[in-house]
Amino acid sequence: DLAHYSHYMQKEIFEQGSAVANTLEERITNNCMLEIETFGEEAVEIFNQVEAVRILACGTSYYAGMVARIWLESMGIPCEAEIASEFRYRNPVVPDNALVVAISQSGETADTLAALNQASKLGYKYSLAICNSPFSQMTRVTDLVLHTRAGPEISVASTKAFTTQLVSLLLLMIALAKRRGMTVDEEAEIVSELRALPSRIEALLQMDKDIAELSDYFADKEHTLFLGRGTHYPIALEGALKLKEISYIHADAYPAGELKHGPLALIDAKTPTIAVAPNNHLLAKLKANIQEVRARGGKLFVFSDSGTPIKSDELIEVIEVVKSGPFTSPIIHTIALQLLAYHVAVTKGNDVDNPRNLAKSVTVE
Ligand code: F6R
């Protein structure tokens, strides 16, 4: 039932405020995360033992894992994130007391299921599925399950599943970080950021018209480059994946520091760059990268946090997104890029919900 929306993707983008609120319901209080309500009673003993984490997933779900890896590391938890189809054919060294975390919207992705199987054969001790489909295969094979509660996702391009995965991964981060000295004040800080998230998402969605206006510029382009740093590099990857899969415009994403090592050669007047530029400790670095692109005559669309000192000019168009905290900023920036991809695909007249050659659930290798 599409109600007043034109496509499922649009509907699912606009449902993200309530999807995130559902993900959090009865799992947080005013200032803390409720571990048993979130992960189940069995989780307490398992989390007490966990010394390292390995995240496995495909596509968009893998990008959620890449963000989480940075979060977990920043809390002193060794973590690696890997593409399931690569992991399943390798024999990596298994750390002691390691938790394998599979992330999947469908819970039926063949490579992710096979990677979980490989992980248990290799000796990973504990497993957790972060999954949106409550009765899927994946939820039956892991020790623990965290249901993302995004509701059914119909459009092939993943949107609300991704943002609720990130929220779920923040809950996991809190659980593990508390065992490594995270203070009650630090926990309260992150929880209050999470509580503010649904209304910040609603505020971001108000920018829909402004972002739609950019789509004409992109509709006749063949190539685009996305740049980001830190937790927002995976967001650049996700923005590029969304754009390519529904608009069929070639989109590459790079960590901005890699520009000089190759991709700068692609920049010309016909290849726009999209920079994900939150106001954090990496902003000065990213601004230098923006100037590198500008100096080569490349047009830039810079998604910055409102109030960030980056100026628009004839080559740089700054799009100020709603300011949020350090942990939820990747989620806010993602939604802006979802809207961009959506409107470009609509402008091009593409079948937004059913992009060519793709299936919603990839149950074969
Ligand atoms: C992209 C997209 C895919 C999925 C991937 C994994 O928009 O939807 O990249 O993220 O196929 O699917 P799940 O999460 O169901 O394992």
pLDDT tens digit string along 130-152?
Answer: 999 999 999 999 999 999 999 99
Q: Residue with the nearest Cα to atom 8 of ligand 1?
A: 158
Residue among 13, 56, 60, 132 to mutate when testing ligand 1 (max atoms within 8 A of CB): 60
- What pLDDT score was predicted for residue 308? 87
Distance 83 CA to ligand 1 centre (A): 12
Distance 241 CA to ligand 1 centre (A): 10
- What pLDDT score was predicted for residue 30? 96
Q: From the CA of 133, give the closest atom in ligand 1.
A: 15
Q: From the CA of 109, give the closest atom in ligand 1.
A: 16
Q: 94: which DSSP letter?
A: P
Cα(291)–Cα(74) distance, integer angstroms: 29
- What pLDDT score was predicted for residue 361? 87
Checking if the pLDDT of 307 tops 90, the result is no
Q: Could you tell me if the CB of 105 is within 6 A of ligand 1?
A: yes
Cα(336)–Cα(276) distance, integer angstroms: 10
Distance 124 CA to ligand 1 centre (A): 24
Q: Could you tell me if the CB of 362 is within 6 A of ligand 1?
A: yes
Distance 61 CA to ligand 1 centre (A): 6
Rg (CA), the chain: 20
Lowest average pLDDT, out of 38-52, 241-255, 276-290, 336-350, goes to 276-290
Task: Give whole-number Cα distances, 16 to 22, 32, 198, 331, in Å.
Answer: 10, 22, 8, 10
Distance 352 CA to ligand 1 centre (A): 15
Q: Are 55 and 45 in contact (CB under 8 A)?
A: no
Q: Residue with the nearest Cα to atom 5 of ligand 1?
A: 59
Q: From the CA of 161, give the closest atom in ligand 1.
A: 14
- What pLDDT score was predicted for residue 3? 87
Q: Could you tell me if the CB of 104 is within 6 A of ligand 1?
A: yes
- What pLDDT score was predicted for residue 116? 98
Q: 259: which DSSP letter?
A: G
Which secondary-structure segment (H or E) carries 305? strand 300-305
- What pLDDT score was predicted for residue 319? 97
Q: From the CA of 112, give the closest atom in ligand 1.
A: 16
Q: Could you tell me if the CB of 159 is within 6 A of ligand 1?
A: no
Q: 58: which DSSP letter?
A: -
Q: Could you tell me if the CB of 158 is within 6 A of ligand 1?
A: yes
- What pLDDT score was predicted for residue 1? 82
Query: Which residue in 71, 194, 56 sits closest to 115, CA to CA?
Result: 56
Cα(18)–Cα(339) distance, integer angstroms: 17
Distance 275 CA to ligand 1 centre (A): 23
Which stretches within 40-183 are classed as H helix?
A: 42-49, 59-74, 84-87, 110-122, 137-141, 160-178
Distance 283 CA to ligand 1 centre (A): 30
- What pLDDT score was predicted for residue 365? 85
First to last CA, the chain: 31
Cα(54)–Cα(65) distance, integer angstroms: 9
pLDDT per residue over 18-59, tens digit each? Answer: 999 999 999 999 999 999 999 999 999 999 999 999 999 999
Q: Are 290 and 302 in contact (CB under 8 A)?
A: yes
Structural tokens at position 103: 């992330």
- Amino acid at residue number 130: I
Cα(135)–Cα(230) distance, integer angstroms: 34
Distance 59 CA to ligand 1 centre (A): 5
pLDDT per residue over 199-234, tens digit each? Answer: 999 999 999 999 999 999 999 999 999 999 999 999
Q: From the CA of 242, give the closest atom in ligand 1.
A: 7
Q: Residue with the nearest Cα to atom 10 of ligand 1?
A: 60
Dump strand ranges (E) for 139-210.
144-147
Cα(282)–Cα(270) distance, integer angstroms: 27
Distance 103 CA to ligand 1 centre (A): 10
